[in-house]
């Protein structure tokens, strides 16, 4: 029988230059200070991807893969990029603690890492590039793993050695400053926790800064600039290593549409109308957006552009709107709402609007409005991370939590209410970072600060910092200092971006949309506590960065002066609605009475009074009550329980009469005079001879016997009784259980 010859199909990828480069093994190592070497390796793993790189430092390794879908190209309305940092419990030698025992979804930590990687690489890809997906996954991690730094460098290198039109190289470093004022590069987790300044900086080869993530304890602008300078001096080694790995790589030549005809028609049709809208300071966010959309609809329906699709018209129209706004600001120094580049929008503040709340504020800056509420609860309500996150140090127990909410109605849109998205998690983490180092460490309550954006026209996360600080003051939290935040923008000239530019203070949403930078900076009168830099161009020069920090410093001082008029210090006493927390010292043997039998007595008191009872340590318990009356009722009930069950005490070695109330195989339960507390006596304490069952001694329920009081166990508080010394001669009974 003749076997028919079937056509052999081989994937084109195996014959492509991209695949051959992906399979070319190469490795480079960068040594910073003799102990923090970073190795980049490719060609040995995930070779079906467009490119894959493993960044490793010590025993830590993170893999980044890049895949491009060359059948689909961006439409110019944004970079078609997906970035995902996927969790891996096996990388740290653990099994996930969820029901299915496998990785189900990203935690907040992985989402924040994904955002940091995305914000670093997105500005260096064109909007018309092919659809690109970057997936980062940890391969091995220990307690000193710096997942953000490894992830950014692995993703950047993977893009740089792929055919994607990535205008790298881009490298990231973490720099910390100790309390002594010394700087460390890529520090350990212990050094990060003790540092007064912790900053991650991603920058290009020309020393332009692309991304900054700052966590500080009121650090000065000078110290932040010094940290950036340390990064500038050391990052060049990484750039050289990445360039070495990219030798021989050919970048994609992206097909482009010839839209010059559309652009010319648009300039003739709508330039004057758009300019009029952009210079009319009477417009607010909604009316300005409506006018811009109306002009666009007119353009699409015009006879001059009837032969062109809206998909081609919109990118050109959007670019024209941005260009007009940018040129107006650059040429006149006046913004679309009539402000100068250093002016703030009007600020209005309210506090204590609702007496029932533990603390609240309403912070309004222009058309951005945030309501912040503070809630106090028992220490058990604090955030507790799972064992995997705790082992990595990426998440820790938090008694202070800030949650940021951005509903769709805040921007006049229809949306679906669901769990927090990546943006909400990122903005909430930034606002929490701005306030957490000001929160007192010994505060007795677990505290939740909820920041709800009710209106948004730019800088809602920084408004959350301002409103959150006011709400904490209104609640009576003894903060170290008040904090405020401001968003700084940048508009550069297309031909001379490094020398001709304007730094904007307190940017609008449309200025964020059309501008080159969104630099969110928060701090106190003493220094910065948090910062987050996002850019849309090829980065900030050192001079632009310096001017941005100066603008932020003066802006924060301005906002703090407005906030201090309303409330310049925490209220001296908590509101009457704040729950009362009382710490009580209880001896270990009495504490057992409360929490034994799965906490039966404790739950009974909680159900009756509504008071939360929790254990602080081995000697103290905490009571949280809504008012003094409920607290007193709970303490009275607790006293009754302890009086009934935990007040037995006799002289050591004294003889006590005990009554048998239950017999089990391994011993008997007895009660003592004046108490109903059941005390267990093991078989070993019933007789000098070893026995297997108490009945061999002729013991029955209801019998009374003499026992010796040996006090309480120092660890458990259990009463120790014995009759071995009182049984006299050895009992003739055998060690067998009697027959029934």
Neighbouring CB atoms inside 10 A of 632's CB total 15
Q: How far apart are CA 732 and CA 729, in angstroms?
A: 9
Q: How far is CA 493 from CA 125, 575, 624, 680, in A?
A: 20, 53, 60, 85
Q: Is the pLDDT of residue 19 over 60?
A: no
Cβ contacts of residue 88 below 8 Å, gap of 6+? 103, 137, 138, 139
Residue-level pLDDT at 8 = 40
* Token output for 732: 């003739």
Cβ contacts of residue 592 below 8 Å, gap of 6+? 646, 716, 717, 718
Residue-level pLDDT at 732 = 39
CB 392 within 8 A of CB 92: yes
Tens-digit pLDDT profile for residues 26-56 = 999 998 876 678 999 999 999 999 999 999 9
Confidence at 7, pLDDT banded by 50, 70, 90: very low
pTM of the model: 0.85
Indicate the fold that domain 260-332 takes in CATH.
Answer: Arc Repressor Mutant, subunit A (1.10.10)
User: Across 189-193, 362-366, 374-378, 654-658, which has the greatest mean pLDDT?
Assistant: 362-366
Confidence at 647, pLDDT banded by 50, 70, 90: low
Q: Which of 235-239, 363-367, 726-730 is least confident?
A: 726-730
Cβ contacts of residue 78 below 8 Å, gap of 6+? 127
Answer with the residue of higher pLDDT: 380 or 428. Answer: 428
Q: DSSP secondary-structure letter at 2?
A: P
Q: How far apart are CA 328 and CA 67, in angstroms?
A: 40
* Token output for 584: 């009580």
Answer with the residue of higher pLDDT: 723 or 23. Answer: 723
The mean pLDDT of the chain is: 88
For CATH 3.30.230.70, list the domain ranges present in the chain: 12-171+234-242, 347-506+541-566
For CATH 1.10.10.400, list the domain ranges present in the chain: 260-332
Confidence at 181, pLDDT banded by 50, 70, 90: confident
Residue-level pLDDT at 35 = 67
CB 342 within 8 A of CB 350: no
* Token output for 411: 């921007």
Tens-digit pLDDT profile for residues 519-533 = 999 999 999 999 999
Confidence at 447, pLDDT banded by 50, 70, 90: very high
Residue-level pLDDT at 539 = 93
Residue-level pLDDT at 418 = 73
Indicate the fold that domain 580-645 takes in CATH.
Answer: Ribosomal Protein S8; Chain: A, domain 1 (3.30.1370)
Mean pLDDT, residues 173-183 taken together: 91
Residue-level pLDDT at 689 = 85
Write b or e for each residue in 570-579: b if 16 or more Cβ atoms lie within 10 A of its Cβ, otherwise e.
bbeebbeebb
Provide, rounded to the nearest whole percent, the portion of the chain with pLDDT above 90. Answer: 57
Tens-digit pLDDT profile for residues 55-93 = 999 899 999 999 998 877 766 678 899 999 998 888 888
Mean pLDDT, residues 402-422 taken together: 87
Q: Which of 116, 119, 92 is nearest to 103 (CA)?
A: 92
Environment class of residue 131 by beta-carbon count within 10 Å: exposed (0-12), middle (13-18) or buried (19+)?
middle
Q: Which of 461, 469, 514 is nearest to 487 (CA)?
A: 461
Q: Which of 149, 252, 161, 242 is nearest to 199 (CA)?
A: 149
Q: What is the sign, positive or negative, of the torsion defined by CA atoms of 250, 254, 255, 260?
A: negative
CB 299 within 8 A of CB 270: yes
Q: Which of 104-108, 466-470, 543-547, 591-595 is least confident?
A: 591-595
Q: Is the pLDDT of residue 321 over 80?
A: yes
Mean pLDDT, residues 674-693 taken together: 85
Tens-digit pLDDT profile for residues 467-522 = 999 999 999 999 999 999 999 999 999 899 999 999 999 999 999 999 999 999 99
Q: How far apart are CA 399 and CA 403, in angstroms?
A: 13
Q: Which of 144-153, 495-504, 611-620, 631-640 is least confident?
A: 611-620
For domain 12-171+234-242, the CATH architecture is 2-Layer Sandwich (3.30)
Tens-digit pLDDT profile for residues 623-644 = 899 888 999 999 888 888 877 6
Answer with the residue of higher pLDDT: 127 or 369. Answer: 369
Q: Which of 696, 684, 688 is nearest to 736 (CA)?
A: 696
How many alpha carbons fall within 13 Å on the CB side of residue 738? 8
Residue-level pLDDT at 77 = 76
Mean pLDDT, residues 232-241 taken together: 92
- What CATH number should be reported for the domain whose range is 347-506+541-566? 3.30.230.70
Provide, rounded to the nearest whole percent, the portion of the chain with pLDDT above 70. Answer: 92
For CATH 3.30.1370.10, list the domain ranges present in the chain: 580-645
Answer with the residue of higher pLDDT: 616 or 284. Answer: 284
Residue-level pLDDT at 740 = 40
Indicate the fold that domain 655-726 takes in CATH.
Answer: OB fold (Dihydrolipoamide Acetyltransferase, E2P) (2.40.50)
Confidence at 386, pLDDT banded by 50, 70, 90: low
Q: How far apart are CA 693 and CA 584, in angstroms?
A: 41
């Amino acid at each position: 029988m003749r076997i028919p010859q079937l056509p052999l199909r081989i994937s084109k990828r195996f014959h492509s230059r991209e695949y051959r480069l992906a399979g070319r093994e190469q490795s480079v190592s960068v040594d910073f200070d003799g102990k923090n070497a970073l190795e980049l390796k490719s060609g040995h793993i995930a070779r079906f991807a467009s490119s894959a790189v493993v960044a490793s430092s010590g025993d830590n390794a993170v893999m980044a893969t890049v895949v491009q879908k060359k059948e689909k190209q961006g439409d110019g309305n944004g970079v078609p990029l997906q970035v995902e940092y996927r969790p891996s419990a096996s990388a740290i030698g653990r099994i996930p603690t969820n029901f299915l025992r496998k990785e189900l979804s990203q935690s907040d930590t992985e989402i924040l890492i994904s955002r940091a990687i995305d914000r670093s690489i997105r500005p260096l890809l064109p909007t018309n590039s092919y659809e690109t997906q970057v997936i980062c996954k940890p391969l091995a991690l220990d307690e000193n793993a710096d997942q953000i730094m490894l992830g950014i460098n692995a993703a950047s290198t993977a893009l740089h050695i792929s055919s994607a039109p990535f205008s790298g190289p881009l490298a990231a470093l973490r720099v910390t400053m100790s309390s002594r004022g010394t700087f460390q590069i890529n520090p350990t987790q212990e050094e990060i926790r003790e540092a007064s300044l912790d900053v991650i900086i991603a920058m290009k080869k020309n020393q332009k800064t692309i991304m900054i993530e700052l966590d500080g304890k009121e650090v000065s602008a000078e110290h932040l600039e010094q940290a950036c300078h340390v990064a500038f001096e050391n990052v060049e080694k990484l750039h050289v290593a990445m360039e070495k790995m990219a030798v021989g790589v050919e970048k994609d030549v992206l097909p482009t549409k010839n839209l010059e005809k559309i652009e010319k028609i648009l300039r003739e049709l709508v330039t004057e109308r758009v300019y009029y809208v952009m210079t009319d300071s009477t417009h607010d966010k909604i009316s300005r957006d409506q006018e811009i959309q109306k002009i666009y609809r007119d353009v699409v329906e015009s006879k001059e552009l009837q032969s062109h699709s809206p998909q081609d018209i919109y990118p050109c129209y959007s670019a024209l709107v941005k260009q007009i706004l940018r040129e107006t600001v650059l040429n006149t120094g006046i913004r679309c709402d009539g402000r100068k580049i250093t002016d703030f929008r009007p600020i209005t503040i309210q506090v204590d609007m609702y007496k029932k709340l533990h603390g609240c504020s309403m912070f309004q800056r222009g058309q951005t409005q945030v309501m912040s509420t503070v809630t106090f609860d028992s220490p058990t309500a604090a955030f507790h991370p799972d064992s995997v996150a705790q082992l990595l140090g990426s998440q820790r127990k938090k008694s202070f939590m800030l949650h940021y909410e951005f509903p769709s109605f805040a921007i006049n849109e229809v949306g679906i209410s669901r769990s927090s998205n990546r943006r909400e998690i990122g903005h909430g983490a930034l606002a929490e970072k701005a306030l957490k180092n000001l929160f007192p460490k010994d505060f007795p309550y677990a505290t939740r600060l909820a920041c709800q954006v009710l209106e948004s026209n730019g800088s809602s996360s920084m408004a959350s910092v301002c409103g959150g600080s006011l709400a904490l003051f209104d609640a009576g939290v003894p903060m170290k200092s008040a904090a405020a935040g401001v968003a700084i923008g940048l508009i550069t000239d297309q031909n001379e971006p490094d020398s001709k530019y304007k730094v904007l203070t307190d940017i609008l949403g449309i200025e964020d949309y059309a501008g080159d930078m969104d630099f969110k900076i928060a701090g106190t009168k003493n220094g910065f506590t948090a910062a987050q830099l996002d850019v849309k161009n090829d980065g900030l020069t050192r001079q632009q960065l310096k001017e941005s920090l100066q603008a932020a410093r003066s802006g924060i001082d301005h906002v703090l002066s407005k906030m201090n008029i309303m409330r310049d210090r925490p209220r001296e006493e908590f509101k009457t609605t704040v729950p009362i927390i009382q710490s009580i010292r209880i001896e270990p043997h009495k504490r057992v009475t409360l929490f034994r039998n799965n906490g039966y007595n404790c739950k009974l008191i909680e159900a009756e009074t509504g008071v939360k009872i929790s254990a602080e340590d081995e000697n103290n318990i905490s009571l949280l009550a809504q008012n003094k009356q409920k607290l007193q009722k709970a303490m009275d009930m607790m006293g009754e329980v302890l009086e009934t069950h935990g007040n037995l005490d006799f002289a050591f070695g004294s003889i006590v009469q005990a009554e048998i109330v239950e017999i089990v195989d391994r011993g008997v339960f007895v009660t003592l005079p004046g108490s109903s507390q059941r005390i267990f006596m093991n078989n070993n304490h019933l007789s000098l001879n070893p026995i297997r069952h108490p009945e061999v001694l002729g013991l029955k329920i209801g019998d009374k016997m003499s026992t010796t009081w040996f006090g309480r166990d120092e660890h458990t508080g259990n009463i120790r009784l014995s009759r071995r010394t009182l049984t006299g001669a050895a009992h003739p009974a055998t060690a067998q259980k009697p027959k029934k």
